[in-house]
């Protein structure tokens, strides 16, 4: 039987500052294929080409990937300032309703970095434009220069609720993660449970209370070294298990109605 399909949310960008493209990092595809055991399918995140309804039918789960562009502050009721940086409003228009629909249906979602922020905003939460400017907060941005290994280096602890779902997946309530982001959760959305924090108090791990499906999302980048890292691997495995379950139930429903 064919492997379940995970829609990997793409990003708009320009090749050579000129040629418009949609892309998603290869590390995401590798993690979904090799660790979650699903087929990765890159989704152009633009409502001119895809609809939420079609995506829900075509894919079994979704990976909301990291991206440099920020969720537009109007999506959480704030006015755009220079500190909010660059946007990808086409992606906002696809991902925010897609998150809500998946939460409702119990279709598995996994948010990473910008994807984690999207899950929070989709549920009615808000973001700080630049957490390093806040009193007592650290700089979570990646080093601007350096190798990929240096950028994705494990840089801080995340402390998880000891009896929460993340600690259950990892088998421990303290993990070491990378960090490559400027924004962070300001207010948690409705039903968004913050289950893990960095040492400076930045929310790092969330899930949606009482959601019927997988909704675990993280501010760090578990796609890095996903097949070997002791934190990344169990997360992608748990997501893969949830997607397989969704696909199986969908096939059972289909065979009953056929
Ligand atoms: N823009 C948000 C999210 C950060 C994030 O997803 N970083 C990954 C960057 C990947 C890339 O540059 O393509 C923030 O800054 O908080």
Q: Is 115 in the pocket of ligand 1 (CB under 6 A)?
A: no
3-class DSSP assignment, residue 187:
strand
Query: Residue range 2-14: average pLDDT?
Result: 97
Which ligand 1 atom is the nearest neighbour of the CA of 66? 6
> Using one digit for the tens of pLDDT, what is the confidence trace for 210-254?
999 999 999 999 999 999 999 999 999 999 999 999 999 998 876
Domains of the chain, with CATH numbers? 5-257 (3.40.50.880)
Per-residue pLDDT, 258: 66
> Using one digit for the tens of pLDDT, what is the confidence trace for 175-213?
999 999 999 999 999 999 999 999 999 999 999 999 999
pLDDT at residue 1 above 90? Answer: no
> Using one digit for the tens of pLDDT, what is the confidence trace for 58-102?
999 999 999 999 999 999 999 999 999 899 999 999 999 999 999
Q: Is 12 in the pocket of ligand 1 (CB under 6 A)?
A: no
Give the separation between CA 144 and CA 164, rounded to whole angstroms: 34
Q: Is 66 in the pocket of ligand 1 (CB under 6 A)?
A: yes
Per-residue pLDDT, 101: 98
User: Could you count the other beta carbons within 10 Å of the beta carbon of residue 144?
Assistant: 6
Task: Calculate the average pLDDT of the chain.
Answer: 96
Tell me which of 12, 42, 45, 66 to substitute to probe ligand 1's pocket, judged by most ligand atoms within 8 Å of the beta carbon: 66
**In 3D, which of 72, 113, 62 has the Cα closest to residue 92?**
72
CA distances from 220 to 49, 52, 54 (A): 29, 26, 29
Which tokens in the block code for residue 119? 């899950």
Tell me how far the alpha carbon of residue 115 lies from the centroid of ligand 1, in angstroms: 9
Query: For the chain, what percent of residues have pLDDT higher than 90?
Result: 95
Asked if residue 184 lies in contact with residue 167, where contact means CB atoms within 8 angstroms, the answer is: no
Per-residue pLDDT, 255: 74
Tell me how far the alpha carbon of residue 114 lies from the centroid of ligand 1, in angstroms: 6
Going by C-beta distance under 8 Å and a sequence separation of 6 or more, which residues neighbour residue 194? Answer: 185, 188, 203, 205, 206
CA distances from 161 to 116, 167, 203 (A): 18, 7, 12
Going by C-beta distance under 8 Å and a sequence separation of 6 or more, which residues neighbour residue 68? Answer: 11, 85, 86, 114
Which ligand 1 atom is the nearest neighbour of the CA of 25? 13
Which tokens in the block code for residue 101? 């629909």
Specify the pairing of strand 217-218 against strand 109-112: parallel
Tell me which of 114, 139, 144 to substitute to probe ligand 1's pocket, judged by most ligand atoms within 8 Å of the beta carbon: 114
Query: Residue range 33-62: average pLDDT?
Result: 98
Tell me how far the alpha carbon of residue 249 lies from the centroid of ligand 1, in angstroms: 34
Query: Residue range 133-157: average pLDDT?
Result: 95
Q: Is 68 in the pocket of ligand 1 (CB under 6 A)?
A: yes
Tell me how far the alpha carbon of residue 16 lies from the centroid of ligand 1, in angstroms: 20
């Amino acid at each position: 039987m064919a492997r379940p399909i995970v829609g990997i949310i793409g990003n708009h960008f320009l090749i050579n500052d000129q040629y418009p493209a949609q892309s998603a990092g290869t590390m995401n595809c590798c993690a979904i294929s090799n660790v979650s055991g699903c087929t990765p399918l890159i989704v152009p995140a633009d409502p001119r080409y895809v609809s939420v309804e079609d995506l829900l039918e075509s894919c079994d789960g979704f990976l909301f990937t990291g991206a440099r562009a920020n969720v537009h502050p109007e999506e959480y009721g704030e006015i755009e300032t220079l500190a909010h940086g660059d946007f990808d409003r086409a992606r906002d228009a696809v991902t925010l309703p897609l998150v809500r629909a998946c939460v409702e249906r119990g279709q598995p979602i996994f948010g990473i970095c910008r994807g984690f922020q999207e899950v929070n905003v989709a549920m009615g939460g808000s973001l700080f434009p630049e957490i390093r400017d806040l009193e007592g907060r650290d700089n979570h941005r990646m080093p601007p220069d350096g190798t990929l290994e240096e950028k994705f280096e494990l840089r801080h602890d995340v402390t998880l609720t000891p009896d929460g779902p993340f600690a259950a997946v990892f088998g421990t309530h303290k993990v070491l993660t990378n960090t490559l982001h400027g924004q962070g959760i300001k207010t948690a959305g409705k039903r968004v449970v913050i289950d893990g924090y960095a040492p400076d108090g930045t929310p790092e791990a969330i899930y949606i209370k009482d959601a019927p499906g997988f909704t675990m999302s993280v501010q760090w980048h578990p796609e890095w070294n996903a097949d070997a890292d002791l934190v990344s691997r169990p997360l992608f495995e748990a997501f893969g298990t949830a997607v397989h379950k969704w696909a199986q139930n969908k096939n059972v429903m289909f065979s009953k109605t056929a």
